[in-house]
Amino acid sequence: MNILVCVKQVADTEARILLTSDKKSIEIENKYNMNFFDEFAVEEAIRTKGKVKDCQISVCTYGSNKATEVLRTAIAMGADKAYLLDNNGYDIEDPIITAKILASFAKTEGFDLIFCGRQAIDDENANIGAMMAEFLNIPHVSAILKFDVVDEKKARVESEIEGGKEIQEVQLPALFTTQKGINEPRVPLITGVMKAMKAQINIIDPATLKDLSKGMIDESASKISVLTYETPSARPTVKIIDGETPEQKVKALIDILKDEAKAL
Amino acid sequence: MSKEIFVFVECKDGSIRKVSYELLSKAKEISQKSSSIVYAVIIGSNQDVLANQLKDFADKVLIVDNEKLSKYRWDTFLSVMEQIIKKYKPYVMFGPSTTTGKDIFPRLAARLNGAIISDAVDVVFDENTLKIKKPLFGGKIISWMKCKDDSTFFVTFRPNSFIVENRSLNGELIKENIDVSEDSRIVSISTEKRETKKVDLQEADFIICGGRGMKGPEHFQDLEEIADIMGGRVGASRAVVDSKWRDYDDQVGKSGKTVSPKLYVGCGVSGALHHTMGMDTSKVIVAINKDPNALIFQYADYGIIDDVFNVLPALKEELKKIKKEI
Ligand SMILES: Cc1cc2nc3c(=O)[nH]c(=O)nc-3n(C[C@H](O)[C@H](O)[C@H](O)COP(=O)(O)OP(=O)(O)OC[C@H]3O[C@@H](n4cnc5c(N)ncnc54)[C@H](O)[C@@H]3O)c2cc1C
Ligand SMILES: Nc1ncnc2c1ncn2[C@@H]1O[C@H](COP(=O)(O)O)[C@@H](O)[C@H]1O
């Protein structure tokens, strides 16, 4: 069985993020991690490998050279092969293009099973998984909470739906996006980290992939564009509600919420 | 080029979700500026009653009624949406950034080779373009984006981004006869619905959120009671969810849900960045914490520095009184 995991390198939530003076681009402090939800995807692939015969896990990312770090993290956790789909340092805005590139890579290599994270914590799009599945013409299930391989051709999954959960059987090849709760991602062992440091990262120019050309994936192909970036308006300083007793404080709070904040 | 605005109406447990009314209200506001009209698209089975409720909010209501659509599946819904879009060629289609919206919109955009902006919070019509506001990096940066060409444009918005306005439009009801195709590669084995009549966390106008300062699961009963009085919901910090005091479904924050209620009350929540990223778009934030240096006071509009267990009983009583007055 061939498994692909798509991982994204994202800015750490603590990283400082600044606007350039023309407000056309952003600068991110050099603190990056593997996307939170992608850790569950890598972990689920490793657990699946432990349950089926002849299984190989590839991880890929579409990003800059720096993104090889997340590939190494995935290898340290237990993935076998890593691919950097090199964006030459240029971040494309249009998620459709990212999905096309990842799908095209998946098509070129051929996979039975693809895992993505539920969403990236930087853009919060939750786009790429379902889009990739569409481009590959395979079924997808979003936000899975349990995963089992029934046989070579079928998986059984539990997923989050509006107001509940659903169990489905899905014919492979298929794509699944992982939600928190599916597993506890492992922390790489030192031996894994050593292996990852030496691991070979395959670097691919996306324009050379099946059915793709430069014109289809460069800036001119992007259907959306950013007009400007802003920093959010700062919240006014907090008003601490005074009072002798908790009861007095609550009364004063309620009055303010009614009269000033109009929140009640 | 037609400028029609389509809104995908999401239903849940036999009623139309509030977020759908929000999107229709905003769509109408824009359509008045761009001299276009608003279509509501409702897909399901036996929805005449619901479709009628939409008449006030849209110029036209497209109804696709088919028993194969009684339950949401991306494959069936997608086949319907695809045909509707190919037939009407709308300028833009709005949808909710909910579990369902996040599942279907990306795949729809990919199938139709459209443009998509997901998880937006505002839209303005200016210089003949739709400008879409979308927070990035958990709200640290705001971006304004637009669609560059004339491909079909899809935008999903977070619940609670817009105000509901009934304009009594008395829109026309149009039944669409559309074949529904199912993807046989997916078979549903069973579904399990949580038994709750409570409003969805992301749609709630009032959220009272408990943190580790609540000391244990048993104390969340107080929060439940207050949420019930206010018709809102209880939220939880990750520390609380990780301790298994509350379900993950209640988690507010970066790795949980992003919420923007009219009023958020944090009880014993420290206000770590990962938490505030999921709630700092709330209209009014109140924090109750015994530590005057707690980070949450940097985000709150109003704060009470005290032991939460001393404050909650009084809060419950006062809110009860208010609800009686109304
Ligand atoms: C990748 C990642 C993702 C994360 N995602 C999330 C997320 O989505 N949501 C989230 O919430 N967190 C998230 N976290 C965790 C986050 O960083 C914090 O650890 C967490 O929010 C802290 O929860 P807390 O405020 O309940 O607990 P604590 O930080 O322990 O705070 C408890 C607070 O209660 C106060 N208190 C104690 N007793 C009382 C009392 N009797 N009366 C009044 N006040 C009292 C204390 O002063 C303190 O401020 C994430 C962390 C990581 C690394
Ligand atoms: N540049 C990328 N390279 C590899 N995988 C990605 C990339 N962007 C997104 N993904 C995958 O798609 C998921 C959803 O991302 P998004 O649609 O950006 O929220 C992520 O959790 C990743 O698994």
Reported as a single tens digit per residue, the pLDDT across B108-132 is 999 999 999 999 999 999 988 999 9
Residue with more model confidence, B150 or B311 = B311
* pLDDT confidence of residue B1: 43
* pLDDT confidence of residue B194: 80
Contact list in B for residue A157 (CB cut-off 8 A) is none
Spell out the domain ranges in chain A.
Answer: 2-221, 233-264
CA distance B238 to chain A (A): 11
**Contact across the interface for A121 and B284, Cβ inside 8 Å:** no
Q: Which CATH architecture has domain B5-175?
A: 3-Layer(aba) Sandwich (3.40)
Contact list in A for residue B200 (CB cut-off 8 A) is 163
| Beta carbons of B107 and A96 less than 8 angstroms apart | no
**In chain B, % of residues over pLDDT 90:** 91
CATH placement of domain A2-221? 3.40.50.620
* pLDDT confidence of residue A172: 98
**Contact across the interface for A26 and B141, Cβ inside 8 Å:** yes
Using CB atoms, which residue from B131, B187, B306 is nearest to A249?
B306
Closest CA to B152 of B89, B108, B102: B89
Ligand number with the minimum distance to the CA of A128: 2
- Write down the mean pLDDT value for chain B: 95
Whether B250 has its CB under 8 Å from any CB of chain A: the answer is no
| Whether residue B13 has pLDDT greater than 90 | no
Strands laid side by side in the A174-178 sheet: A201-204, A81-86, A56-63, A2-6, A113-117, A174-178, A140-151, A154-161, A164-171, B186-193
Per CATH, B5-175 and B201-325 having the same topology is answered yes
Binding-site residues, ligand 2, Cβ < 6 A: A 6-8, 35, 37-38, 41, 61-63, 95, 98, 102, 116-117, 119-120, 123, 125-129
Whether A244 has its CB under 8 Å from any CB of chain B: the answer is no
What 8-state DSSP symbol labels residue B251?
B
Spell out the domain ranges in chain B.
Answer: 5-175, 201-325
Question: Taking the CA atoms of chain B, what radius of gyration do you get in angstroms?
Answer: 21
**Contact across the interface for B187 and A156, Cβ inside 8 Å:** no
**Across chain A, which distance is largest between two alpha carbons, in Å?**
72
* pLDDT confidence of residue B2: 57
C-alpha dist (Å) from residue A53 to A2, A75, A149, A185, B230: 10, 19, 11, 22, 55
Nearest CA in chain A to B10: A162
CA distance A200 to chain B (A): 31
Q: Residue B267 Cα, ligand 1 centroid: separation in angstroms?
A: 10
C-alpha dist (Å) from residue B315 to A14, A246, B308: 34, 9, 10
A 175-214: CB under 8 A from B: 180-181
pLDDT < 70 positions in chain A = none
B162 three-class SS: coil
If one counts every other C-beta atom within 10 angstroms of the C-beta of residue B56, the result is: 15
| Whether residue B197 has pLDDT greater than 80 | no
Task: Give the number of the atom of ligand 2 that is nearest the alpha carbon of residue A119.
Answer: 19
A 67-126: CB under 8 A from B: 93-96, 99, 119, 121-126
Q: What is the mean pLDDT of residues B53-63?
A: 97
Q: Which CATH architecture has domain B201-325?
A: 3-Layer(aba) Sandwich (3.40)
CA distance A183 to chain B (A): 13
Tell me: ipTM over 0.90.
yes
**Contact across the interface for B286 and A257, Cβ inside 8 Å:** yes
* pLDDT confidence of residue B326: 66
Q: What is the mean pLDDT of residues B143-152?
A: 92
B219 — pLDDT class (breaks 50, 70, 90): very high
